[in-house]
A and B are shown apart, each in its own frame.
Chain A
Amino acid sequence: MTSIAKPQIRHPGLLKNALGLTKQDYEGAMSTLCAGCGHDSVTAALVQAFWELDCPPHRAAKMSGIGCSSKTTAYFMKNSHGFNSVHGRMPSVTSGANAANRELMYIGISGDGDSLSIGLGQLSHAIRRNVRMLYVLENNGVYGLTKGQFSAASDIGSTSKKGEANVQAPIDPCLLALTLGATFVARSFSGDKAQLVPIIKAGLAHNGFALIDVISPCVSFNDHEGSTKSYKYTREHEVELTSADYVPLRSAITLAEAAKNETDGPTTVRMHDGSLVRFRNTHAGYDPTNREEAWLHVRQCQKRSEVATGVLFIDESGQDMHAVADTVSTPLADLPYSALCPGAAALDTLMKDYR
């Protein structure tokens, strides 16, 4: 069973957000993933982020493919729409859903197998299309649900549980996204909720495709000595390039204060909805608005066996799929038929062109 209902006992003193909802209201079914799975920590961060953003659950669509990561859409926001599609094809389904209804908040959850092998084409083209969605790639470097095969994110030399060493070069989703022109590229660690929550919020506010690669250790098949996606390895090698702080539009005072700081440098980015993302560059000379430098920094970290985290690149000037297609602001799904059918008279006139 991948969905077991949770007990609905509420503490009367639970904090409520602007919608009057508690954090529990943003939880989902009981996780059936292994105890200690990194994905469950990502789930907790998502619950926190959506609760803090006051997102009406039914206005969010949780999209996924197949795999352990894709199961996690069932474990948060039980009152949201969910779509567990086919392996590696979540980006296309989300592209279509977004085409039909641009007003919903789309969050895609995928894994390294789902995204970088079977779904590499779909991921790449959703980035090129710049579909407005948050794409969380729960990256554990292994196929968990089929019990421990290497994935395309496994590092050369990283060993499997049985001791076999991976020989093929990994695909780094962040470098890939930077190359493909993604306008929001971030990396985090499932064990670092303080970093992950503001990044998720910033990604959701982004006007386009927002990729977050989350290193999320697999306790069953990839958390041993010799793995480069283990808790231990990631903790020891994580290098935070930026520390992000998300300032929502609604908090007027903070916003005014933040706006004041906007002049300080390139490290405050105003999102299209007016909210702000402030960066504290923890790495000297790092500029998250410069694509070429971002790419170089990530590569340099890699060479030093460091895992670069934080918002690595952000560009709010990009046009999303709807802007490029120049569609009406009303969701296409909401247009009345009378606005879509040319009618009998137009057809009669048109027929003259075919004589």
Chain B
Amino acid sequence: MNQINDFAFKMGTVNGTGSASANSILMQAIFRMGIPVTGKNIFPSNIQGLPTWYEIRVNKDGYTARPPVIDLVVAINPATYKKDVATVRPGGYLMYDSSWPLPAELVRTDITILGIPFGQMCVEAFQRDRDRTLLRNIAYAGALAALLEIEMDVIHEMLHEKFGKKKALLDLNFTAIRLGYDYAKANFACPLPFHLKRMDATSDFVIMDGNTACGLGAVYAGATVGAWYPITPSTSLMEAFKAFCEQYRVDTATGKNKFLIIQAEDELSAAGIAIGANWAGARAFTNTSGPGISLMQEFIGLAYFTEIPCVFFDVQRVGPATGMPTRTQQGDLFSLAYASHGDTKHIVLFPCNPEDAFYQSVTAFDLAERFQTPVFVATDLDIGMNDWMTRRLQWDDSYTPDRGKVLTAEDLEKMKSFSRYLDVDGDGIAARTLPGVHPKGAYFVRGSGHNKHGAYTEDSAEYQEVLDRLDHKLRVAADHVPAPEFHRQPGASVGLVSLGGCHAAVLEAVDRLRDQGIVADYMRIRAFPFADAVKTFLLQHPNTFVIEQNRDAQLRALFAIETGVARDRMTAVLDYGGEPLTARVVVNAVASHLDGARS
């Protein structure tokens, strides 16, 4: 088997000991060698002392999903030795810290065990306890460089960029890298059968996480007000927005800020602030995760019923309740699609990676103002917090924000009077005014029953007229939200449907299924409510598999509710343990279902 530029390795370490920085150096070095690479951080909800893993997949064909197989494990954390050694494929390798005798639980006869005395070498080489701990990680990176042929020049260049201004620190890191590198060279046959070879396949790409992309998207969309309450895995989105605002949004003449970020007392308040700011005419957003979405429900209903635009980023994590805050899931589909009490329905966008998240973030602000309604950008922890090799982001300077139907002072001046909820154009969207613009534009926003003029009502017919128009508006929106993406093949016998962070694994699964003779068409859902093309695809494929990361097959249920396609016509492929999806899960589920159907 040719495993040049096609393998995966995994580090099992203790969080808070500096392994994250060594792991990211490894991933980035491979990227700079022009080789497609993916990093998945499987980390605990904890600051220091608990097990954490980092998986790096190298793939010359550009598959970026979580690796289905692990070829090499670096076992640094004794607490997880047993679990870690079990994940090595037969014939693979295990690297451990041989400062201590080989523990019995690491012994496996079908793999090669590489012992390197990282602890002992670091104690001898470094004086301070802190350095001895932190630099052990850099030492294993050095050993991997020797075993996998990561170019030392690239690593040196990166260490220079990172520590260039701190000579002492730079020297320590150089020493540590050499410790691991030299030991591996002297004691093992380097390189291993699977290793790296420089390519030129990453020049159109960058390494970025989805939260950064969303924060950047909000800046490019022209958002000026951000409100939030800290919550994993969404926090870094607002941190990114803040950093980009500090970079791009400080008035050069006055030094004053062209943005205002409010860390609210809770998610309810964050939603209220974002809605209030949108009402007053700014582009504003809030970012949160499932528990925050639960808390925001009442406000979401208010924005829907009073028709105030607002963008919500939901970086989904494992629920219910506190769930597993540092693990990924797509469990919020129900609570987003129909958020809040009463009859509601909302626009939800499902980016599949950081690149898509950047562009869809901008789209979200346009849709929110065009349809004067809440819009959710539903990513997940995998997209939001993991480093993805994603296409270089580009911007079209001819873009102008779609502010929707907003009456100007001139418009109002010409009007005899203004009624807030009149559907003049037949698309369900009534023109709005912004406070302070013109005396004729003043109206009363009320979450209570109102008629098409915006006046309070308890009259059934008047109330229903408004509610029916809202329904019509969301139906119109279905044709304006991002259309589904189709990957069709001639002779396809099955249909795969998925969304969000599952995309990379499903794309890979389509290829692996084809290797087995199963030809599949694939539809990636990009938004809710669904366009007609979604129903057509489902009807065209009697053998449809709906792949998603939750227990209750929420996407499949939404299809049944919204398209009328019978639930049982669609086979649910569910993976909801909290880790990013692999192609193997999809392939096995589809293949075994088809086998079962045949026998």
**Which chain B positions have C-beta within 8 A of A99?**
225, 260, 262, 273, 276-277, 280, 282, 284
Indicate the member of A81, A86, A91 with the most B CB atoms within 10 Å: A81
B174 at interface by CB-CB < 8 Å:
no
Q: Are A97 and B443 in contact (CB under 8 A)?
A: no
CA distance A283 to B518 in the complex (A): 90
CA distance A80 to B446 in the complex (A): 14
**Which chain A positions have C-beta within 8 A of B299?**
86, 89
Which residue of chain A lies nearest to B256 when distances are taken between CB atoms in the complex? A328
Q: Are B266 and A121 in contact (CB under 8 A)?
A: yes
**Which chain B positions have C-beta within 8 A of A334?**
281
Q: Are B260 and A84 in contact (CB under 8 A)?
A: no
CA distance A122 to B273 in the complex (A): 11
Within 8 A of A (CB), among B247-304: 247-249, 251, 254-262, 264-266, 268-282, 284, 298-299, 302
A83 at interface by CB-CB < 8 Å:
yes
Given A92-B273, A125-B264, A100:B439 Cβ within 8 A: no
CA distance A328 to B251 in the complex (A): 8
B51 at interface by CB-CB < 8 Å:
no
Which residue of chain A lies nearest to B203 when distances are taken between CB atoms in the complex? A355
Q: Are A332 and B282 in contact (CB under 8 A)?
A: yes
Q: Are A327 and B298 in contact (CB under 8 A)?
A: no
**Which chain A positions have C-beta within 8 A of B392?**
351
**Which chain A positions have C-beta within 8 A of B219?**
340-342
Q: Are A340 and B222 in contact (CB under 8 A)?
A: yes
Q: Are A96 and B400 in contact (CB under 8 A)?
A: no
Q: Are B275 and A96 in contact (CB under 8 A)?
A: yes
How far does the Cβ of A331 sit from chain B's closest Cβ, in whole Å?
8
B493 at interface by CB-CB < 8 Å:
no
Which of the segments A53-61, A161-169, A187-195, A208-216 contacts the partner chain? Answer: A53-61
Q: Are B222 and A341 in contact (CB under 8 A)?
A: yes
**Which chain B positions have C-beta within 8 A of A94?**
276
Within 8 A of B (CB), among A102-130: 103-104, 121-122, 124-125, 129
**Which chain B positions have C-beta within 8 A of A344?**
394-397
**Which chain A positions have C-beta within 8 A of B298?**
86, 89
Partner of B258, one of A1, A89, A92, A335: A335
Which of the segments B430-438, B502-510, B526-534, B569-577 contacts the partner chain? Answer: B430-438
CA distance A93 to B244 in the complex (A): 25
Q: Are B277 and A74 in contact (CB under 8 A)?
A: no
A2 at interface by CB-CB < 8 Å:
yes
Q: Are A57 and B257 in contact (CB under 8 A)?
A: no
Interface 0/1 of B395-411, CB less than 8 Å to A: 11101110000000000
Q: Are A83 and B394 in contact (CB under 8 A)?
A: no
How far does the Cβ of B212 sit from chain A's closest Cβ, in whole Å?
8
Q: Are A327 and B276 in contact (CB under 8 A)?
A: no
Given A74-B444, A86-B447, A342-B220, A101:B281 Cβ within 8 A: yes
Q: Are B401 and A100 in contact (CB under 8 A)?
A: no
B25 at interface by CB-CB < 8 Å:
no
Which residue of chain B lies nearest to A74 when distances are taken between CB atoms in the complex? B444
How far does the Cβ of B89 sit from chain A's closest Cβ, in whole Å?
31
Q: Are B456 and A122 in contact (CB under 8 A)?
A: no
Given A81-B436, A96-B275, A332-B282, A122:B258 Cβ within 8 A: no
Partner of B442, one of A79, A337, A341, A342: A79
B458 at interface by CB-CB < 8 Å:
yes
Given A96-B284, A101-B435, A332:B220 Cβ within 8 A: no
How far does the Cβ of B439 sit from chain A's closest Cβ, in whole Å?
4
A9 at interface by CB-CB < 8 Å:
no
How far does the Cβ of B13 sit from chain A's closest Cβ, in whole Å?
25
CA distance A82 to B397 in the complex (A): 37
CA distance A125 to B256 in the complex (A): 24
CA distance A313 to B99 in the complex (A): 68
Indicate the member of B269, B270, B299, B436 with the most A CB atoms within 10 Å: B436
B422 at interface by CB-CB < 8 Å:
no
B393 at interface by CB-CB < 8 Å:
yes
Chain B interface residue count, CB cutoff 8 Å, equals 74
A333 at interface by CB-CB < 8 Å:
yes
B448 at interface by CB-CB < 8 Å:
yes
Partner of A351, one of B31, B206, B225, B278: B206
Interface 0/1 of A39-78, CB less than 8 Å to B: 0000000000000000011110100000000000110000
A343 at interface by CB-CB < 8 Å:
yes
Chain A interface residue count, CB cutoff 8 Å, equals 63
Q: Are B273 and A95 in contact (CB under 8 A)?
A: yes
Which residue of chain B lies nearest to A347 when distances are taken between CB atoms in the complex? B395
Partner of B277, one of A57, A84, A97, A329: A97
Q: Are A122 and B207 in contact (CB under 8 A)?
A: no
CA distance A351 to B395 in the complex (A): 11
How far does the Cβ of B275 sit from chain A's closest Cβ, in whole Å?
6
B525 at interface by CB-CB < 8 Å:
no
Q: Are B225 and A83 in contact (CB under 8 A)?
A: no
CA distance A198 to B186 in the complex (A): 87
B482 at interface by CB-CB < 8 Å:
no
A23 at interface by CB-CB < 8 Å:
no
B483 at interface by CB-CB < 8 Å:
no
Interface 0/1 of A319-355, CB less than 8 Å to B: 0011001111101111101011111101110110011
**Which chain A positions have C-beta within 8 A of B395?**
343-344, 347
B547 at interface by CB-CB < 8 Å:
no
Q: Are A333 and B224 in contact (CB under 8 A)?
A: yes
A3 at interface by CB-CB < 8 Å:
yes
**Which chain B positions have C-beta within 8 A of A56?**
439
**Which chain A positions have C-beta within 8 A of B265?**
121-122, 124-125
**Which chain A positions have C-beta within 8 A of B275?**
93, 96
A22 at interface by CB-CB < 8 Å:
no
Q: Are B435 and A96 in contact (CB under 8 A)?
A: no
CA distance A104 to B282 in the complex (A): 14
A281 at interface by CB-CB < 8 Å:
no
A149 at interface by CB-CB < 8 Å:
no
How far does the Cβ of A113 sit from chain B's closest Cβ, in whole Å?
16
How far does the Cβ of A132 sit from chain B's closest Cβ, in whole Å?
13
Other than the given A95-B276, A322-B260, 7 more pairs (CB < 8 A) read: A85-B447, A93-B273, A96-B275, A125-B265, A325-B260, A328-B256, A335-B224
Which 8 A-B pairs have CB atoms at the shortest separation, nearest pair first?
A: A96-B276, A92-B272, A333-B281, A100-B282, A96-B273, A100-B280, A354-B206, A93-B276
Question: Please, could you name 23 A-B residue pairs with CB atoms under 8 Å apart, sorted by A?
Answer: A3-B455, A74-B456, A81-B442, A84-B445, A86-B447, A91-B272, A95-B262, A95-B272, A97-B277, A101-B434, A121-B265, A122-B265, A129-B262, A321-B260, A326-B257, A329-B256, A333-B224, A333-B282, A340-B258, A341-B399, A342-B219, A342-B247, A343-B397
